[in-house]
Amino acid sequence: MVADIIRDSTVGQFLNFISNGRLLPYQEQRPEFVVPAHFLPPSISEPEWDASDAATLCGDTAQKKSGTNTPVTVLAREDTIVVDEKELGMKLDNETSDPNLVSWYGDDDPDNPRNWSPAKRAFVAFSISLMTFTMYIGSAIYTPSIPGIMSDFNVTLVHATLGLTLYVLGYGIGPMFLSPMQELPVFGRNIIYMASLFLFIIFQIPIITATNIQTILAFRFLTGFFGSPALATGGASMGDIYPASQLAYVVGIWAIGAVGGPIAGPVIGGFAAQAKGWRWPQYELIWLSALSFVFLMMFLPETYEPTILLRRAHRLRKLIGNQQLMSKGEKETEGESIGSIFKEALLRPFILAKEPVLMFANVYLGFVYAIFYLWFEAFPLVFTDIYNFNLGISGLPFLGFFVSAAVTYTFYALYQKLHIEPRADRATAAGKSLAPEVRLEIGLIASLFIPTSLLIFGFGSRENVHWIVPIIGASLYLPGIYLNFQSILMYVTSAYPLYAASVLAGNDLFRSSIASVFPLFGRAFFTNLGLGPASALLAGVSLLMMPVFWSLMKWGHLLRSRSKYAQSP
């Protein structure tokens, strides 16, 4: 397992390439590999040859064409059906299938990510979650640096807070450009992940060495932009390796990593900023991201099926000289320009955003997300100004989110196991599929946590009330945001399965754009209105949106029936 993981990683791919397949070889690069005869050019596999002559001749020919000294075994055409079905497990219908289509070598092909062992899949899921955590922590780890930046560069709070805002905006815009590249078989997931992570690290250097606020703001946007693939496509990578029946559980764990990043940022950065100055939280970010980069370069394998098969087709063409061999992904993108693909990827999210279902999802999640980022402005007001915590300790209340995250995920997993799965099984037994609107039920219930959290936090933050009260109040927000995200994103991807990538990219753009603005006026909002009234206003808006949420759950199927993009009821 370890050798396969290293082989499929970016470093492993490089070693395999420069050694011409001698190091960390694939099936097609091993001496014992058997080439299915239907892959051979017509000039090589003639039906009148007998099996032994054909195998010998084809093996010699393939060896010459591949340019290697590795002997190759090739099956005669008359033996293809027997060997393919019984030994290789390939189900080739000679009348209806394309003999030049490169696919999996059977249902148990070890190179298929869906066939990886549970341990290997868990390791890859951990690696993807680590990358997501690293990118997300970059947003809030900046907040302890804001006082120092204000002092060093003599700028206002709003001006310094732009470093947080532009980072969030950057990782909302980034997927519009970078995520479509990950859907191209020639690139796949890993090339974009590693290239963007490398640039993420490089663009932190000017922030650390900045001599003016303009440099900090420009490169904060760029780091957010290039950090976006992990945030936007991490869930898709999970879908590459896990079946649909397990996807909700693993995406739930990945989402905790996504939420945990902004939560851990002030905790990690607060003490460093207090002891060493505003640049040190950025040092911590570059250390963490550099460590993640080295680890992922060595141990994160490619998970995107079209890319894996494209590379297999390339190895087979090189091995036996049949230039007609192509993977499905190659055939589908043949003749399409990258420009046309980007144009479609950029326009489609905006076209889909006009759908009533998606418009509500974008606005509601944007609002929920925006309040989450308001905590980074509210916490210093409460724990520094009211309870007199220093800069380092004032980040510790964010740890309450981790406690509620663990409890929330446990509940969510039990909900999926005991409630959703039996309903899905009954629907399948009846020849139907589970209605996407079912996914909204848990989100509607979880929406009650949002106003509850805001009211406890706002009115409990007083000198004569123990500091644990606002911490508990803030922690109750986590079930609201976490379950709403899981609920609504599962709903929209189920309702628009053919356009899931565009739907998620559009949602990421809209919610990040909305959320990025809120920290700019957060301090003035809470200061001018007061913590209690300001929190009550946000709670009231949240309550007013719940009837719309309920209406979507009740009549969403009618909206889908009128849409040319959504899955029909």
pLDDT for 503 equals 85
Q: Is 335 part of any domain?
A: no
Task: Give the type of residue at 120.
Answer: K
Q: Is 508 part of any domain?
A: yes
- d(CA 412, CA 277) in angstroms, rounded, equals 40
Query: What global pTM score does this model have?
Result: 0.84
- d(CA 108, CA 370) in angstroms, rounded, equals 45
The strand ranges marked E within 131-248 are none
pLDDT for 335 equals 66
User: Based on the structure, what is the number of domains in the chain?
Assistant: 3
Residue 476: how many CB atoms within 10 A of its CB? 22
Judgement on whether residues 69 and 145 belong to the same structural domain of the protein: no
Q: Is 311 part of any domain?
A: no
pLDDT for 42 equals 62
Judgement on whether residues 33 and 17 belong to the same structural domain of the protein: no
Residue 137: how many CB atoms within 10 A of its CB? 27
Q: Is 421 part of any domain?
A: yes
CA 379-161-390 angle, 5° bins: 35
Long-range contacts formed by 337-343: CB under 8 A, 24+ apart = 338/184, 341/180, 341/184, 342/177, 342/180
Judgement on whether residues 54 and 80 belong to the same structural domain of the protein: yes
Q: Is 564 part of any domain?
A: no
Q: What is the 8-class DSSP label of residue 567? A: P
The CATH number linked to 471 is 1.20.1250.20
Give the max Cα distance, the chain.
95
Report the length, in residues, of the chain.
569
Judgement on whether residues 414 and 516 belong to the same structural domain of the protein: yes
Distance of CA 252 to the CA centre of its chain: 12
HSE value, Cβ hemisphere, 13 Å, CA-based, for 402: 13
Judgement on whether residues 86 and 167 belong to the same structural domain of the protein: no
At residue 102, the 3 state secondary structure works out as: strand
Judgement on whether residues 266 and 220 belong to the same structural domain of the protein: yes
Token look-up 């109040």 returns 473
- d(CA 504, CA 386) in angstroms, rounded, equals 40
- d(CA 396, CA 269) in angstroms, rounded, equals 11
Residue range of the domain that includes 461:
341-558
User: Where is the domain boundary, 330, 365, 380?
Assistant: 330
Residues 6+ apart with CB under 8 A from 96: none
Q: Is 566 part of any domain?
A: no
pLDDT for 121 equals 94
Q: Is 239 part of any domain?
A: yes
pLDDT for 261 equals 85
Judgement on whether residues 160 and 230 belong to the same structural domain of the protein: yes
Judgement on whether residues 292 and 371 belong to the same structural domain of the protein: no
DSSP one-letter string for 525-558: HHHHH-HHHHHHHHHHHHHHHHHHHHHHHHHHHH
pLDDT for 371 equals 86
275 phi and psi angles, rounded to 5 deg: -85, -35
Q: Is 538 part of any domain?
A: yes
Which pLDDT tens digits describe the chain residue by residue (569 residues)? 788 899 999 999 999 999 999 999 999 999 888 887 777 766 554 444 343 443 433 444 444 444 444 444 444 333 333 334 334 444 444 434 678 899 998 888 999 999 999 999 999 999 999 999 999 899 889 999 999 999 999 999 999 999 999 999 998 899 888 888 888 888 889 999 999 999 999 999 999 999 999 999 999 999 999 999 887 788 888 989 998 888 888 988 888 878 888 888 888 898 999 889 999 999 999 999 999 999 999 999 999 999 999 999 999 998 888 888 899 888 877 766 667 777 777 788 888 888 888 888 888 888 888 888 887 788 888 998 899 888 888 888 888 888 899 899 999 999 999 999 999 889 888 888 888 899 999 999 999 999 999 999 999 999 899 999 999 999 999 999 899 988 988 888 888 887 877 888 888 888 888 888 888 888 899 999 999 999 999 999 899 888 988 988 888 888 888 888 887 76
Judgement on whether residues 399 and 467 belong to the same structural domain of the protein: yes
Judgement on whether residues 90 and 159 belong to the same structural domain of the protein: no
The Cα-based distances of 43 to 318, 442, 543 in angstroms read 16, 61, 72
Long-range contacts formed by 416-420: CB under 8 A, 24+ apart = 416/248, 416/249, 416/252, 420/248
- d(CA 504, CA 398) in angstroms, rounded, equals 27
Judgement on whether residues 40 and 13 belong to the same structural domain of the protein: no
Judgement on whether residues 501 and 356 belong to the same structural domain of the protein: yes
pLDDT for 63 equals 46
